[in-house]
Amino acid sequence: MLNTEVDENKAVVKIEKKLTSAIFQRTLSDVPVACFLSGGVDSGLIVSILATTSKERIKTFTLGFNFEHEYNELSQDKLIAEKYNTDHTEVIIDINIKEDIEHILAQFGEPFADSSAIPSYYITKK
């Protein structure tokens, strides 16, 4: 019979080690590394691990809209940036999707149906 009992503390330590290793593998670079900070758990975890293990101050970038919008996450991002003392930049935009959509879509070599392409375009443009 399979033992499904898990020691929670051991599981947390194991997950943290695996996550830290995965992040380090993807951020090994000879140039500074920066993070898009979205206010979500995933980007918050990445920033927390990098900020607490790095000798350098981590650069973080957040995209916000120049109007009240349900997807504005600036307040959550600011809390994370302050907690981990990142070199944080807020990029506030006015979306001009009618003018930009053809250019955004032309950047992909194949069909792409992820709405994150739009905010990613604007934040990397800045």
pTM of the model: 0.76
Is the Cβ–Cβ distance between 58 and 82 less than 8 Å? no
Q: Would you give per-residue pLDDT tens digits along the chain (126 residues)?
A: 666 778 899 999 999 999 999 999 988 888 888 999 887 889 999 999 999 988 889 999 988 877 665 556 677 888 999 999 999 998 887 777 788 888 888 888 788 777 778 778 888 877
Distance between CA atoms of residues 28 and 10, nearest Å:
27
* CA R_g for the chain: 18
Question: What are the residue boundaries of the structural domains of the chain, listed by start?
Answer: 31-125
pLDDT of residue 69: 56
Distance between CA atoms of residues 93 and 126, nearest Å:
9
CATH class of 31-125: alpha beta
pLDDT of residue 111: 81
Coil, strand or helix: which one is 77?
A: helix
Helices (H), the chain: 8-27, 41-53, 74-83, 97-106, 117-125
Q: What's the one-letter identity of residue 3? A: N
